[in-house]
């Protein structure tokens, strides 16, 4: 193994990767905000799946308006109005997270602890709003877990959201690491395109909305990170002699692909 390329950091996506937050988290928060604003919009499970092609909540609302309620485009305060609506959505999402109803996905907590023990840096590269990341980490791993991450890149910190590579470039820059020293873990095609465009070896753990997407270019596509008592299922990509994703497997991935 080329020790020069030893794994230095793991860059985690949030929505769909750390936790399955979309269907019963973000979607419900959007609908609650719509209700608060007196809108008769309802993003059902199917429609929300289609809208997920557009990353970012504010961008998703604008896309919905353009395609489903174009009369609203005449509002001259549209941008501010969307910002207000999205702020309400973020508050609903935070309250939902406080209930603790959305758990981390299999293997996530275990892998995070293992990487900390191995002194591998942890980072987050996500499209979602920072408040959402904090709320999810607090409710699942506890308040102190926020400090376990060396860098958290979230939301509007970069102008172009995934599939643009900007958020990964930003995080790598903050970490002062090269892509060859890192692994990205993603759940969606948009996330994969973003990470690959930043030259990152990318592992996919599919989530409920993303399992039939195109993951060409991923080092491996797995059902989840797996646990010793509940191994992952390999869907595509390279085979590693592991049944759950651990430090050693990620290190192998980083050295093989760099
Ligand atoms: C996640 C997203 C986010 C969330 C909502 O994509 O697209 O927009 O759905 O978050 P990824 P906000 O997992 O690829 O980062 O409403 O806070 O934008
Ligand atoms: Mg995701």
Kindly list the domain boundaries of the chain, sorted by start residue: 3-20+104-257, 23-98
In the reported structure, the alpha carbon of residue 4 is separated from the centroid of ligand 1 by a whole-number distance in angstroms of 34
Provide the pLDDT for residue 86.
98
In the reported structure, the alpha carbon of residue 77 is separated from the centroid of ligand 1 by a whole-number distance in angstroms of 23
Measure the CA–CA gap between 183 and 192, rounded to whole angstroms.
Answer: 12
Strands 234-237 and 220-222: antiparallel
The CATH superfamily assigned to 3-20+104-257 is: HAD superfamily/HAD-like (3.40.50.1000)
pLDDT 10s digits, 212-247: 999 999 999 999 999 999 999 999 998 888 999 999
Of all ligands present, the nearest one to the C-alpha of 194 is 1
Provide the pLDDT for residue 255.
86
Instruction: Return the closest-CA partner of residue 7 out of 148, 103, 118, 124.
Output: 118
Task: Verify whether residue 15 is a known catalytic residue.
Answer: yes
189 lines ligand 1 (CB under 6 A): no
pTM listed for this prediction: 0.96
In the reported structure, the alpha carbon of residue 36 is separated from the centroid of ligand 2 by a whole-number distance in angstroms of 27
Level-2 CATH architecture, domain 23-98: Orthogonal Bundle (1.10)
Task: Verify whether residue 13 is a known catalytic residue.
Answer: yes
Cα dist from 228 to 111, 164, 248, 251, whole Å: 12, 35, 14, 18
- The rounded percent of the chain whose pLDDT value lies above 70 is 98
Question: Angle 238-239-240 (CA atoms, 0-180°, nearest 5)?
Answer: 120
191 lines ligand 1 (CB under 6 A): yes
- The rounded percent of the chain whose pLDDT value lies above 90 is 95
Helix/strand/coil for 145? helix
pLDDT 10s digits, 245-258: 999 999 999 988 76
In the reported structure, the alpha carbon of residue 229 is separated from the centroid of ligand 1 by a whole-number distance in angstroms of 31
**Which atom belonging to ligand 1 lies closest to the Cα atom of 167?**
15
pLDDT at residue 5 above 70?
A: no
pLDDT 10s digits, 21-68: 999 999 999 999 999 999 999 999 999 999 999 999 999 999 999 999
Q: Cis bond leading into 42, ω under 30°? A: no
pLDDT at residue 145 above 50?
A: yes
Which alpha helices (DSSP H) does the chain contain, by range?
Answer: 27-36, 45-51, 57-68, 78-98, 108-117, 130-141, 166-175, 189-197, 247-257
Minimum CA distance residue for ligand 1 atom 7: 55
Provide the pLDDT for residue 77.
97
């Amino acid at each position: 193994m080329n020790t020069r390329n030893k794994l230095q950091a793991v860059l985690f996506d949030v929505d769909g990767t750390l936790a399955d937050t979309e269907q019963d988290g973000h979607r419900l928060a959007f609908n609650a905000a719509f209700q608060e604003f007196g809108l008769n919009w309802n993003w059902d499970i199917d429609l929300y799946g289609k809208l997920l092609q557009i990353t970012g909540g504010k961008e998703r609302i604008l896309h919905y308006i353009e395609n489903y309620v174009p009369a609203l485009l005449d509002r001259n305060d549209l941008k501010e109005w969307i910002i207000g609506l999205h702020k309400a959505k973020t508050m609903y999402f935070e309250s939902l997270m406080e209930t603790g109803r959305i758990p981390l996905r299999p293997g996530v907590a275990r892998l995070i602890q293992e990487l900390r023990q191995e002194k591998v840096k942890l980072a987050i590269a996500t499209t979602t709003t920072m408040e959402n990341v904090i709320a999810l980490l607090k409710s699942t791993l506890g308040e102190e877990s926020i400090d376990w991450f060396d860098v958290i890149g979230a939301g509007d910190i970069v102008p172009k959201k995934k599939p643009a590579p900007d958020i990964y470039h930003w995080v790598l820059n903050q970490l002062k690491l090269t892509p060859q020293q890192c692994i990205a873990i993603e759940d969606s095609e948009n996330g994969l395109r973003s990470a690959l465009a930043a030259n990152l070896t990318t592992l996919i753990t599919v989530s409920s909305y993303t399992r039939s997407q195109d993951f060409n270019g991923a080092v491996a596509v797995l059902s989840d990170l797996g646990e010793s008592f509940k191994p992952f299922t390999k869907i595509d990509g390279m085979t590693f002699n592991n049944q759950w994703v651990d430090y050693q497997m990620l290190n192998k991935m980083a050295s093989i692909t760099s």
